[in-house]
Amino acid sequence: MKKFLVFMVRWVGVLFFVGFLMVGFISCSKKGHQQTGMTGEEGGKKELSVVATTGIVADVVKNIGGDRINLITLIPPGADPHTFQPRPTDYSKMVDADVVFINGAGLEEFLNKSFKEVMKKAHIVSLSEGLKLKMSRLGKGEPNPHVWFSPLNIVVWAEKISDELKRLDPANGNYYVENMKNYVAKLESLDSWIRKEVKTLPPDRRKLITGHYFMDYFADEYGFKIVGAIFKSHTTAAQPSAKDISHLVDVIRKNSIKAIFVGKYANKKVANEISRETGVLVVPIYTGTLDKKGGEVCSYIDLMKYDVTMIVENLK
């Protein structure tokens, strides 16, 4: 019995010593790995830290940046960009980024003066800067920010994103340029597809009533006429008056409108009231947000194809 106890004590001591050596080895390995990761050039590439405000902006950025960037989307799927309010943690995401891509043209209303003071360290790129912007229908000198409803505007976005990523990461410059060229080809194909689909719709039926004025760029590019909107604004923040609704009912009847196109994630209460009075269809389409991963519409090109299909089918 005594010999057995001595034998066990010795083996416990040996196992403890081996365990101690293994812990030390693993700890050093982790430390060495972390130090290598910090150097970037010596132990592997350091990805650019990129923030995109909306899901649409993020999708375009991802098509250009691919696996060479670490991309964060600020506004979650299903949230309205017009009314989004950033949390304190969102500030740090933007301040710590190498670049922040925004839609611009007034869409991100949370980028007010006080927020920009916090953002002095971050490099912000407004993708809509330089585009030919359409002004608000309210006559207040504000631009309509829904520029993505023309794929040709997104071609400009793609070029601007490529230039910026190449400037920040010249070692991967050719990668970004090639991705941009491939994506632009898809956008040009999308534009051709839209024109082909629209041709199936008689010109006298190319009249749109929408939830708010988000289809101006689409209408001008593809030959539609916007005859009214529930919310007389380019945002969802305004509320229609009883007079506004009455006028819209008259417009619907006068123009033999068959459908109202409203945001998929928007409040449809007013639209449903108008539908009950006029018999017009309420058709949800995507406006400024995408679905969550695994949803029906998870990319900008998906969005445009879905919306055009719904518009053409419901106006025939």
CA terminus-to-terminus distance, the chain: 95
Q: Please, is 154 exposed, middle or buried when counting C-beta atoms within 10 Å of its C-beta (0-12, 13-18, 19+)?
A: buried
Res 54: pLDDT: 96
DSSP state of 149: G
Domains defined along the chain, listed by start = 48-193 (3.40.50.1980), 202-315 (3.40.50.1980)
> What letters, b where the CB count within 10 A reaches 16 and e where it falls short, cover 210-240?
bbbbbbbbbbebbebebebbbbbbbbbeeeb
Please count the other Cβ atoms lying within 10 Å of the Cβ belonging to residue 152: 14
By C-alpha distance, which of 239, 57, 76 is closest to 146? 57
Res 121: pLDDT: 72
Q: What is the distance between the alpha carbons of residues 280 and 272, in angstroms, rounded to a whole number? A: 9
Quickly tell me which residue has 């055009």 as its tokens.
308
By C-alpha distance, which of 110, 112, 159, 167 is closest to 131? 159
Res 118: pLDDT: 67
220-226 contact pairs (CB < 8 A, 24+): 220/134, 220/150, 221/149, 221/150, 221/152, 222/194, 222/195, 222/198, 223/198, 224/198
Q: What is the pTM of this model?
A: 0.83
Tens digit of pLDDT at every position of the chain (316 positions): 434 433 443 433 433 333 433 333 333 333 333 332 333 333 345 789 999 999 999 999 999 999 999 999 999 998 888 888 888 888 888 888 999 999 999 999 877 765 666 677 778 999 999 999 998 776 677 899 999 999 999 999 999 999 999 999 999 999 999 999 999 999 999 999 999 999 999 999 999 999 999 999 999 999 999 999 998 766 655 678 889 999 999 999 999 999 999 999 888 999 999 999 999 999 999 999 999 988 999 999 999 999 999 999 999 9
Res 98: pLDDT: 94
Q: What is the distance between the alpha carbons of residues 221 and 134, in angstroms, rounded to a whole number? A: 12
Res 293: pLDDT: 87
Res 237: pLDDT: 58
Q: What is the distance between the alpha carbons of residues 316 and 313, in angstroms, rounded to a whole number? A: 6
